[in-house]
């Protein structure tokens, strides 16, 4: 069954039990004195009781996000199967392979495998090779012009993907619940037929009903979450009752195949798992990612999420902090042993700026308001806003102090007061200088609005009187 024999099932069951015993018998003590096993904190699909609920949370979040979109989204159930001749590859037979027709459908790279080379060398394919062929074909489809257009038009395509084996020989196929704006439905179907022309994909769903649906491309779905969940249910072992593996579970484990994959429109799983002690609502975390302030770095073990209500979730190297405005509401955790820090290293942060700033048009030229400064769009490359710099917490004492002294010696209208406030507060926290830590809003309030203009802008006097102390007009020298 699923291409496995009874001997395979027994071997995989034995390895599974060894892994579980290892996780269950290796303990550690938390900062609060609790003794936990590695199994307690595991998110393994094969062992963890939490993995299944995490997947349900993720799927519900995707559907909740789509339900709140202003644009009408269409749910499309897509099935992707391979042409029949791919089964021959498992036996090392390639007579039905036509290089002139099929070469583009088979990968030959490091990411998906050098599979065309295997055909040339007459090497047998594995189940994982066929899985990689499916991933390669799906990747090409997702990079096609229709998806580029959806993105260019300012929309997102969301998806939930499940891999499933054929019962007889274990050859994999994919199921996707894809969500796209309704206006792209027909065009997307045409692209589907181009990229997945296997007969079983493009047959009409119902010969007696010409509604345009295909076996592999259906959109009359009553409940999209429930529809895809029935395929997900089948792929999970009942970890709660510690049941033994069946052939289907053994297939996923033996071939190292992911059960569920989702689009990158949500907060990444590693961020969700790290921040879970503070917040377990994936929808809420994703809302912050999309609409408010978020930054993280996996390499530096750092996460910061700030919502519209001045609630901030922060994690850094084992320490958790929950803020309301500038006040710490909760703090716990154990600081991980620090590694030597290269102060000159670039910090790779994923950053979402607080709600996109609207463009301002003056005499036909676009401007943006950044930290109360009205800056021409074409001048962004010449400016260095504070949010593009290395985060304050990763800056060394000497760098911060030099930056602070440099700003202290400049005119107030020539520095970014928000950045100045952040640097000064951090130096006071580190006891490098004396002073009172002030709310950042105090620096923002006192920042004058600077209007950049050139000789082609004649309406500056209409924007604001040049003598108004709340505004500074600064000429651009090209």
- What is the full per-residue pLDDT of the chain (478 aa) written as tens digits? 889 999 999 998 888 888 888 888 888 776 666 787 887 777 777 777 777 777 888 888 888 878 777 788 899 999 999 999 999 999 999 999 998 889 999 999 999 999 999 999 999 999 999 999 999 999 999 999 999 999 888 888 889 899 999 998 999 999 999 999 999 999 999 999 999 989 999 999 887 777 889 999 999 887 777 788 887 777 766 545 556 788 888 999 899 898 888 887 778 888 888 888 888 888 888 888 877 888 888 888 889 998 888 889 999 888 899 988 878 888 888 787 655 545 455 545 544 444 444 445 555 555 555 444 455 555 433 333 333 345 566 677 778 888 888 888 887 767 777 778 888 888 888 888 888 888 766 665 444 444 444 444 444 443 444 444 444 444 444 3
Query: What values do phi and psi take at 343, rounded to 5?
Result: -65, -15
Domain that holds residue 401: 359-475
Residue 205 in contact with residue 218, Cβ under 8 Å? yes
Same domain? 257 vs 406: no
Please indicate, yes or no, if residue 272 is contained in any of the structural domains. no
Please indicate, yes or no, if residue 28 is contained in any of the structural domains. no
Please indicate, yes or no, if residue 39 is contained in any of the structural domains. no
Q: Which of 304, 333, 352 is the last residue of a domain?
A: 352
Same domain? 146 vs 180: yes
Same domain? 363 vs 348: no
Same domain? 294 vs 315: yes
Same domain? 240 vs 103: yes
- Domains in the chain: how many in total? 3
Same domain? 197 vs 173: yes
Q: Which of 307, 327, 352 is the last residue of a domain?
A: 352
Please indicate, yes or no, if residue 13 is contained in any of the structural domains. no
State the DSSP code for 206: -
pTM here is: 0.63
CA distances to 3, 11, 24, 237 from 17, rounded to whole Å, are 22, 10, 10, 13
Q: Which of 212, 227, 262 is the last residue of a domain?
A: 262
- Return the beta strands (E) in 286-333 as ranges: 293-297, 302-306, 311-316, 319-324, 327-333
Same domain? 206 vs 118: yes
Query: Taking the mean position of all CA atoms in its chain, how far away is CA 454?
Result: 41
Same domain? 239 vs 385: no
Please indicate, yes or no, if residue 253 is contained in any of the structural domains. yes
Please indicate, yes or no, if residue 375 is contained in any of the structural domains. yes
Whose structure tokens read 């959109």?
Answer: 219
Please indicate, yes or no, if residue 131 is contained in any of the structural domains. yes
Same domain? 97 vs 128: yes
Same domain? 139 vs 195: yes
Same domain? 200 vs 132: yes
Please indicate, yes or no, if residue 23 is contained in any of the structural domains. no
Same domain? 82 vs 228: yes
CA distances to 158, 161, 224, 231 from 177, rounded to whole Å, are 8, 7, 7, 11
List beta partners, residue 368.
359, 375
CA distances to 15, 227, 334, 437, 469 from 304, rounded to whole Å, are 39, 35, 17, 20, 36
List beta partners, residue 333.
319
């Amino acid at each position: 069954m699923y291409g496995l024999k009874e001997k395979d099932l027994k071997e995989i069951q034995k390895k599974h039990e060894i892994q579980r015993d290892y996780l269950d018998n290796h303990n550690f003590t938390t900062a609060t004195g609790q003794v936990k096993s590695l199994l307690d904190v595991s998110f393994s699909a094969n062992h963890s009781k939490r993995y299944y609920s995490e997947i349900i949370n993720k799927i519900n979040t995707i559907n909740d996000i789509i339900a709140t979109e202003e644009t009408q989204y269409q749910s499309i159930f897509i099935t992707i199967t391979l042409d029949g001749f791919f089964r021959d590859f498992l036996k090392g037979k390639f007579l039905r392979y036509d290089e002139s027709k099929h070469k583009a459908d088979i990968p030959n790279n490091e990411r998906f495998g050098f599979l065309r080379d295997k055909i040339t060398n007459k090497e047998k394919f594995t189940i994982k090779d066929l899985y990689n062929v499916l991933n390669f074909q799906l990747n090409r489809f997702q990079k096609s012009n229709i998806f580029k257009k959806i993105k260019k038009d300012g929309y997102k395509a969301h998806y939930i993907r499940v891999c499933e084996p054929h019962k007889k020989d274990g050859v994999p196929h994919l199921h996707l619940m894809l969500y796209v704006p309704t206006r792209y439905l027909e065009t997307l179907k045409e692209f589907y037929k181009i990229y997945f022309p296997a007969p079983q994909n493009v047959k009409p769903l119902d010969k007696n009903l010409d509604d345009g649906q295909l076996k592999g491309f259906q959109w009359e779905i009553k409940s999209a979450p429930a529809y895809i969940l029935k395929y997900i249910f089948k792929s999970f072992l009942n970890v709660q009752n510690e049941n033994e593996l069946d052939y289907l579970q053994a297939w996923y484990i033996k071939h190292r195949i992911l059960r569920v994959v989702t689009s990158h429109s949500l907060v990444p799983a590693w961020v969700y798992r790290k921040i879970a002690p503070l917040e377990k609502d994936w929808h809420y975390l994703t809302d912050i990612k999309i609409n408010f302030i978020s930054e993280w770095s996996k390499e530096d073990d750092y996460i910061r999420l700030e919502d519209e209500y001045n609630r901030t979730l922060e994690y850094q190297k084992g320490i958790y902090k929950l803020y309301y405005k500038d006040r710490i509401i909760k703090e716990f955790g154990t600081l991980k042993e620090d590694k030597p820090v290269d102060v000159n290293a670039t910090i790779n942060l994923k950053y979402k700026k607080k709600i996109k700033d609207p463009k301002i048009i003056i005499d036909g030229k676009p401007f943006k308001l950044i930290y109360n400064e009205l800056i021409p769009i074409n001048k962004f490359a010449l400016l260095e806003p504070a949010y593009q710099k290395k985060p304050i917490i990763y800056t060394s004492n000497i760098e911060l102090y030099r930056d602070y002294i440099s700003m202290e010696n400049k005119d107030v209208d020539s520095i970014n007061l928000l950045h100045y406030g952040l640097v000064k507060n951090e130096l006071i926290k580190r006891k490098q200088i004396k002073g009172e830590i002030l709310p950042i809003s105090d620096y923002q309030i006192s920042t004058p609005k600077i209007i950049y203009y050139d000789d082609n802008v004649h309406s500056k006097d209409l924007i604001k009187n040049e003598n108004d102390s709340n505004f500074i007009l600064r000429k651009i020298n090209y």
